[in-house]
Amino acid sequence: MEPSRGSIAAPRRALSEAEKAMIADAVLTKLSDHDHHDFRWLPLVVAPHDRAMDYCARVSGYLAGEYGLPNDDAGFRDFRAHLTFDRNGALAKVEIVALGKARSDNTLTMVDSICMQGGYDIFQ
């Protein structure tokens, strides 16, 4: 799946620490299988619509080396979130739309394809 023309041209920005914390809290409510989770944060693709944007990144379900998975990508799963910002541009709501399955290869999933079309390179 290729990024759309709009997502290629869209500006990007880093997430603030407060935004990361809100997104992490929303993702962690969906994960109850382990206490430790690392995030691989990607820049936010700033959409031209009002105050709503999709966001994709990766979260670990467990540590590398656990369960016999040997590399640093072991157990990382992608997620897609719908972010809503208030009138002042502050993140007001996070809804987790999709959470991929943990894997240690680069096989594309449906979540990957949607994220890539939105301009997120989840394998970087």
Is residue 16 situated within a structural domain?
A: yes
Domain count, the chain: 1
Query: Is the residue at 122 inside a domain?
Result: no
pTM of full prediction above 0.85:
no
In terms of Cβ atoms closer than 10 Å to its own Cβ (0-12, 13-18, 19+), residue 122 is buried
> CB atoms < 10 A from the CB of 17, how many?
8
The single-letter DSSP state of residue 16 is: P
Give the tens place of pLDDT for each residue, 9-54. 889 999 999 999 999 999 988 876 655 678 999 999 997 676 889 9
User: What's the length of the chain?
Assistant: 124
In a domain, 37, yes or no: yes
Boundaries of domain holding 18: 5-117
